[in-house]
Amino acid sequence: MAMTESEITQLIEDGLPGAIVKIEDLRGDGDHYSAHVIYGGFKGLARVKQHQMVYNALKGNMGEALHALALQTSVPK
């Protein structure tokens, strides 16, 4: 079963408190999303570590209920 934008947002916000999350359904199929996550806790971390933190927040849904996620991470300006 596919995940909704709000479900993805909620998981990331719960896992990364204070994060700003912007989700877009790329194909309108509920299966291919892009996410931009802005989070102060990313400061000083390598991009790979930042992405791992987001995937961890998704609690195992990546590759299962969530098929594809184009991920962009950054720190607040």
Give residue-wise pLDDT tens across range 5-19: 999 999 999 999 999
pLDDT in tens, 6-56: 999 999 999 999 999 999 999 887 788 999 999 999 999 999 999 999 999
CB burial readout 46-57, b (16+ within 10 A) else e: eeeebbebbbeb
Structural domains of the chain, with CATH: 5-74 (3.30.300.90)
HEC string of the chain?
CCCCHHHHHHHHHHHCCCCEEEEEECCCCCCEEEEEEECHHHCCCCHHHHHHHHHHHCCCCECCCECEEEEEEECCC
